Amino acid sequence: MNGAKDRVRALLRPEVLALSAYATVDAQGYIKLDAMENPYPWPEAMVEEWLTRLRTAAPNRYPDPSCTRLKGALRAALGIPAEAGLLVGNGSDEIIQIILMAVAGSGGCVLAPEPTFVMYRQISTCLGLPFVGVPLREPDFSLDPDALGAALARHRPKVVFLAYPNNPTGNLFDEAAILRVLAEAPGLVVLDEAYAPYAGRSFLSRLPEFGNLLVMRTLSKLGLAGLRLGLVAGDPAWIEQLDKVRLPYNINVLTQISGEFALEKRAVLDAQVAQLVQHRQALREELSKFHAVHVYPSWANFLLFRLLCHDAERVYQELKAAGILVKNLHPVGGPLRQCMRVTVGTAEENRHFLLALRHILETQDPAHDS
């Protein structure tokens, strides 16, 4: 159309042209177990109180650019040390982007163990930054301290990302290995604690010990995915500089009010998390009974499992036909071949998933798969 494609190819960076957009599936009408969301809605009384609070919003005015009240609520709810700086973003994705825009720069590279959260590589590539992936150990997806140490010495990354627990594997990296990375990294280490509510482990309280550590959190997995609210805490010297890169008014007024309100009701969210941790254990026990499946331990609100003698693509499509969405990781390849990830849902959602998967595995002939 009017030569637009030629102009696009002439003006955009090759690494952007080579990317694929982040893909999502239309989930309407499905049991949605593909996005690590908390499946539980708020109690009706809480919703009514929330709507009353929202009536105080002034959408004709810009929101508080500093998010002062919201930051206070986050500090109190998450136990962020008083001496740590704090920056909030539009989900953890924006936080990752801010860090990489500010820190990596010319001549720097970004490093992370893989497989891990895809946005570390995706955003690095979008910004034209070299990305180095260090393979996790097989078969347990643990950190390989020696391989990481060698990569740190060779590539001298300006930023290292460690997901704690890791996505999509669900495991919690060994603390001693993380401490070694903190000691040997020449630049900044970002610990992504998106699933901390389900793991019960965190480095937040230890921030004052490490001048090169930032801890990232999101409220998405806690039950507020629709708000898109993330945060990063660390030494004020880091946060002061990162705040220069943050776009003004990046957290809208409705998110600020809603986030502050939800944190006041933390007991409700904590009870939902506790319920999901119980569901995670029950789901893992039932899934482990399937002889054609290997399920991995998880500290998050999802389970990674491998199909031992069935084709992941066919199983994924048949689950979808049965009205259930999970994440098919087989296309990623490597150690995730024949792997799928299922979010822990309600007891009823988990039951439907298990029944559907059992039926598929019992009726699908493994001999026809490769």
Q: pLDDT tier at 285 (50, 70, 90 boundaries)?
A: very high
First to last CA, the chain: 43
Residue 138 tokens, joined: 């097989």
Measured between alpha carbons, how far is 159 from 123 in angstroms, rounded to an integer? 13
Q: What is the DSSP string of 285-331?
A: HHHHT-TTEEE---SSSEEEEEESSS-HHHHHHHHHHTTEE-EE-GG
Evaluated on CA atoms 168, 172, 173, 178, the torsion sign reads positive
**SS3 label, residue 175:** helix
Nearest to 291 by CA among 303, 281, 301, 306: 306
CATH homologous superfamily of 4-42+268-365: Aspartate Aminotransferase, domain 1 (3.90.1150.10)
Q: Where is average pLDDT lowest: 16-20, 176-180, 183-187, 260-264? A: 16-20
The label of the residue with tokens 């893909």 reads 23
pLDDT of residue 213: 98
The label of the residue with tokens 């825009």 reads 101
Query: Sheet of 339-343: strands edge to edge?
Result: 293-295, 302-307, 339-343, 327-328
Residue 202 tokens, joined: 């965190």
Measured between alpha carbons, how far is 370 from 361 in angstroms, rounded to an integer? 14
Q: Where is average pLDDT lowest: 101-105, 122-126, 183-187? A: 101-105
* Predicted TM-score (pTM) above 0.85: yes
**Does 370 have pLDDT greater than 60?**
no
Looking at domain 58-265, its CATH class is: alpha beta
Mean pLDDT of 349-369: 87
Measured between alpha carbons, how far is 165 from 163 in angstroms, rounded to an integer? 5
- Looking at every residue in the chain, the average pLDDT score rounds to 94
Q: Counting beta carbons within 10 angstroms of the beta carbon of residue 297, is it exposed (0 to 12), middle (13 to 18) or buried (19 or more)?
A: middle
Give the contacts of 261 (CB within 8 A, at least 6 positions apart).
Answer: 49, 50, 53
**pLDDT tens per residue, range 234-253:** 999 999 999 999 999 999 99
Strands 339-343 and 302-307: antiparallel
Cβ-based neighbour number of residue 126 at 10 Å: 15
In degrees to the nearest 10, what's the CA dihedral of 194, 199, 204, 206? -140
Show me where the domains of the chain are located: 4-42+268-365, 58-265
At residue 160, what are phi and psi to the nearest 5 degrees?
-120, 130
pLDDT of residue 288: 97
